[in-house]
């Protein structure tokens, strides 16, 4: 991948860009195998590659500069704005949206937030694109001071970007490195963006998390579904279920699936996706989504599911849940999807009754050292 921002040291986020893609992929696989076991101990399926460019489905843009000349991108080490509207990680369709968004910021007179003076309003622009081109746009503001101006000028933005389906404002009043706040103000009639993943259409609400690489996320869910269909468990738990990607791919006639996620907005998205899937004629069996802490919820249940899926944040599932699953005799299989092989290895060390049977590396984040790895474990 060629990137002028990397070459001129303006942006070094893609830490592995100087390495050929095949070398990057081999290093990630070697790292996972060193932690989890090589081919002599564990059956590794072929890695899932990603296009090295144009794979990101979302842009998280820091807004700097002025309302007359807004800069969308990052801040460098000196705090100056670096415009990344032409970042090659974004597909051309996403890059093409930024001129209209800059023009809107100018027309609505939205002053970017200045870190040094703590003045201004607009902190971030968050843009998500579905495979069919639909867009979800969020403006992260310090306060409600400019919301009326955004509403007033929104028709011009919708005219410039007719594929824009969901628009909202997020309020983040604190002066600290937090991307968004708790309060969301919906500005569009639609409250969700449909994202087709395999044969399921996930419904993403503004505050819902979704993987940044749709094609690789589809492969991740498809791999879990293939394992589940081979094992045919009667009950499945999807802990840290997010918007329900794993749970909905596990849903089938005669099967009970429960997804648990702390974030209420993600659960609302999952419930909307389930309703849409059932309405389309899909046989979903018995599926429930619950907003709760995954560990606390699991420890309150009288009996665990026969197959448990965990997809935690980088810190892993931790000691409490690991020891619970180790002791849960009813759980015969565990599918662990991780974005951090180190925490995955630590958690698996606390569950010695489980043996890893198959694993797969999925390159969710080309040009970096980050990756996703999914492992199928069976109680010995």
Cα gap 256→144, rounded to integer Å: 44
Average pLDDT over residues 271-285: 93
Same domain membership, residue 245 and residue 142: no
pLDDT above 90 covers what percent of the chain? 95
The pLDDT confidence band at residue 1, using thresholds 50, 70 and 90, is: confident
Q: Which domain holds residue 369?
A: 21-52+213-379
Same domain membership, residue 70 and residue 36: no
Residue 77's pLDDT is: 83
Flag whether 16 is in a domain. Answer: no
Query: Which residues are catalytic, by number?
Result: 339
Same domain membership, residue 362 and residue 259: yes
Average pLDDT over residues 126-149: 98
Strands of the chain (E only): list them. Answer: 43-44, 58-65, 70-75, 81-83, 122-129, 135-141, 164-171, 183-186, 193-197, 200-204, 235-239, 256-261, 286-291, 307-310, 333-338, 354-362, 372-379
Flag whether 361 is in a domain. Answer: yes
Q: Answer with the one of 190, 222, 252 that is the final residue of a domain.
A: 190
Flag whether 131 is in a domain. Answer: yes
Q: Looking at the predicted structure, is the pLDDT value of residue 177 above 90?
A: no
Same domain membership, residue 239 and residue 146: no
The contacts of residue 155 (CB under 8 Å, 6+ apart) are none
* Mean pLDDT for all residues in the chain: 96
Same domain membership, residue 230 and residue 373: yes
Flag whether 169 is in a domain. Answer: yes
Flag whether 15 is in a domain. Answer: no
Counting the structural domains of the chain, the total is: 2
Same domain membership, residue 111 and residue 228: no
Average pLDDT over residues 297-322: 97
Same domain membership, residue 33 and residue 68: no
Q: What are the structure tokens assigned to 52, written together?
A: 């090295």
Flag whether 13 is in a domain. Answer: no
Same domain membership, residue 46 and residue 64: no
Same domain membership, residue 186 and residue 91: yes
Residue 39's pLDDT is: 95
Average pLDDT over residues 132-161: 98
Same domain membership, residue 238 and residue 370: yes
Query: DSSP of 289-303, one letter per residue?
Result: EEES-HHHHHHHSSS
CATH number at residue 129: 2.40.50.1070
Same domain membership, residue 130 and residue 74: yes
Same domain membership, residue 270 and residue 293: yes
Radius of gyration of the chain measured on its C-alpha atoms: 22
CATH number at residue 341: 3.40.50.150
pTM: 0.95
Flag whether 88 is in a domain. Answer: yes
Flag whether 42 is in a domain. Answer: yes
């Amino acid at each position: 991948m060629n990137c002028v921002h990397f070459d001129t040291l303006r942006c070094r986020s893609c830490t592995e860009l100087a390495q050929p893609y095949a070398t990057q992929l081999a290093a990630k696989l070697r790292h996972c195998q060193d932690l989890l076991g090589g081919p002599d101990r564990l059956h590794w399926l072929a890695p899932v590659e990603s296009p090295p460019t144009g794979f990101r489905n979302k842009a998280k843009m820091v807004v700097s500069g002025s309302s007359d000349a807004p800069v969308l991108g990052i801040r460098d080490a000196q705090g100056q704005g670096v415009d990344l509207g032409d970042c090659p990680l974004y597909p051309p369709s996403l890059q093409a949206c930024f001129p209209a968004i800059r023009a809107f910021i100018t027309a609505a007179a939205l002053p970017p937030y200045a870190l040094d003076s703590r003045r201004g309003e607009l902190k971030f622009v968050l843009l998500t694109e579905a495979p069919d081109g639909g867009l979800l746009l969020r403006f992260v503001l310090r306060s409600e001071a400019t919301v009326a101006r955004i509403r007033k000028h929104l028709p011009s933005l919708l005219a410039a970007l007719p594929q824009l389906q969901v628009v909202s404002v997020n309020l983040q009043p604190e002066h600290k490195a937090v991307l968004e706040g708790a309060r969301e103000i919906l500005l569009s009639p639609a409250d969700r963006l449909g994202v087709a993943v395999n044969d399921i259409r996930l419904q993403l609400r503004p505050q819902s998390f979704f993987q940044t690489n749709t094609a690789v996320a589809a492969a991740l869910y498809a791999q879990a579904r293939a394992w589940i269909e081979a094992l045919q468990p009667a009950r499945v738990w999807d802990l840290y279920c997010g918007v329900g990607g794993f749970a909905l791919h596990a849903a089938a006639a005669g099967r009970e699936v429960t997804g648990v996620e702390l974030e209420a907005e993600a659960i609302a998205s999952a419930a909307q996706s389930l309703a849409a899937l059932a309405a389309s004629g899909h046989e979903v069996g018995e599926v429930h989504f619950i907003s709760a802490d995954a560990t606390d919820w699991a420890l309150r249940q009288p009996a665990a599911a026969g197959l448990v899926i965990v997809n935690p944040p980088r810190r892993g599932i931790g000691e409490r849940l690991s020891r619970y699953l180790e002791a849960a005799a009813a759980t015969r299989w565990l599918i662990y999807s991780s974005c951090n092989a180190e925490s995955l290895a630590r958690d698996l060390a606390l569950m010695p009754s489980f043996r890893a049977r198959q694993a797969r590396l999925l390159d969710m984040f080309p040009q970096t050292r980050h990756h996703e790895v999914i492992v199928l474990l069976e109680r010995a």
